[in-house]
Amino acid sequence: MRKGILAATTIGLVALGGLAACGDDKKDTGTGKDAPYVGVILPDTKSSARWETADKPSLTKAFTDAGVKFDIQNAQGDKTAFGTIAEGMISKGVNVLLIVDLDAGSGGAVIKKAHDSGVKVIDYDRLTAGGGADYYVSFDNVAVGKLQGEGLVKCLGKDGKPKVAELNGSPTDNNATLFAQGYDSVLDPLYADGTYTKGPNKAVPDWDNAQGGTIFEGMLTSTPDIKGVLVANDGLANAVISVLKKNNLKLPVTGQDATVQGLQHILDGDQCMTVFKDTTLEAAAASKLAIALAKGEEPPADVKLTTIVDPVTKQNVKSVLETPKAIYKDSVKDVVTAGGAKKDELCAGAYAAKCTEAGIS
C-alpha cells in the first residue's frame, strides 16, 4: 500500500514539474502561440475624444473579429495608473502591449517592464522617445503639421502682415514636436520674409484644454492684434474659440483629429480646418501587427513597414505611418463617408441644415 502511495506521489510530482516547465516556457518565449492575448492602454479622454469614440471601437472590432483575447483600458491621464494597468496586464499574461504613452518617462518604464517579461510592445500613435518599443504605428505627424500650416495660410491669406499665434500640444508628447516641425516648416519662411508677423508661441501641458484656454486668453490680452491661431488639435481649438467668442472675435483657427465638435465648428465657420487621421487605418495596421506578434508570427505582408529615427536613441524604429488629410467645410462629408464621424451625431439639431448645405446626405 505504501509503495503505491509513493508511486502515485512521484507521478504527481512529475506531472506538476511538467506543468511548471510548460508555464516557464511560455513566460520565457513570450510567443503566445497557444493563447494570443493583447493589452491596450489608451492615454485619457480629455486630450481628445478620439481615444474612446474612434480608436477603442476600431481596435475592439479587429481583435474580436480575429478571435484574439484582448483587454483595453484607459489611464485617464494618470501616469501611476498607466503603470499599474500595464503591470496588471503583464501579470495576466498578455503577449503584446499596445500603448499610447503619457510621457517618455512613464511610457519607457512600462516598455522596459514588458520587455523584461518577454512581452512585445507597439507604440500606438505616439512614439515613446528613447523607450525602445518594438514597433510604432501612427500617422506621418510632420505631414499633419504641414497640413495645419497650409490650412492656416489658406484661411488667413497673406495681406497686411497678419500676426499669428501658435498654441502647441504637450511638450512631453513627441507627436506635438513633430506637428510643430510640420507647421513651422510652412510658417517660418513667412515670418522670415515679412509676409506674416510671429506672435505668441506656447505649449499646453498634457494637452489640457482648460489650460489651453487660459494660456490663449493670456496671449490675446498681451497681443490683442492676433489675426490667426495655429492650434494643435480640435480640443484646444474649442478652448480658443470659446475665448474668441467671449471677446466677440472670429479668427482663423486650425485643429486636428476631425472630432464631431471640431467638424461642427467648421460647419459654423468658427474653425478654419482640421486634419482627419482615419483611425480605422491606424487601428487596422496596429491590430494586424499585434495579432501576428501575439501568435509569434512575422508581421503580415499587407502591413507596410518603414522606419523612423528615435530622437533620443537615434536608432531606427520599425514603423507604419498612415497618410493624413486636411478637412475644410467642403470636405467635412469625406470624414462621414469614411466612418470617422457619425452623421446622426454630427448633424443633430441645428446642424441638420448645415450638414445639408455641406453636402452631407
Write down the pLDDT at residue 192: 98
Total domains in the fold of the chain: 2
Question: 93: helix, coil or strand?
Answer: coil
* CB atoms inside a 10 Å sphere around CB 316: 11
- Does the reported pTM lie above 0.75? yes
Grid coordinates belonging to 25: 516556457
The CATH number of residue 232's host domain is: 3.40.50.2300
- Which set of grid coordinates corresponds to residue 239? 478652448
Same domain, 191 and 338: yes
Is residue 269 domain-shared with residue 283, that is, in the same domain? no
Q: Is residue 1 part of a domain?
A: no
**Same domain flag for 216 and 302:** no
3 in a structural domain: no
218 in the same domain as 115: no
Q: How far apart are CA 84 and CA 105, in angstroms?
A: 14
Residues 77 and 215 in one domain: no
Rounded Cα distance between 193 and 42, Å, is 42
Domain span at residue 194 reads 141-277+326-357
| 309 and 269 inside one domain | no
- Per-residue pLDDT tens, the chain, 361 aa: give them: 433 433 444 334 333 333 333 333 333 333 444 589 999 999 999 888 889 988 999 999 999 999 999 999 999 999 999 999 999 999 999 999 999 999 999 999 999 999 999 999 999 999 999 999 999 999 999 999 999 999 999 999 999 999 999 999 999 999 999 999 999 999 999 999 999 999 999 999 999 999 999 999 999 999 999 999 999 999 999 999 999 999 999 999 999 999 999 999 999 999 999 999 998 899 999 999 999 999 999 999 999 999 999 999 999 999 999 999 999 999 999 999 999 999 999 999 999 999 999 999 8
Which residues face 231 on adjacent strands? 167
Query: pLDDT at position 48, please?
Result: 84
CB neighbours of residue 59 within 10 Å: 24
Whole-angstrom CA distances from 22 to 15, 30, 90, 114 are 11, 12, 18, 20
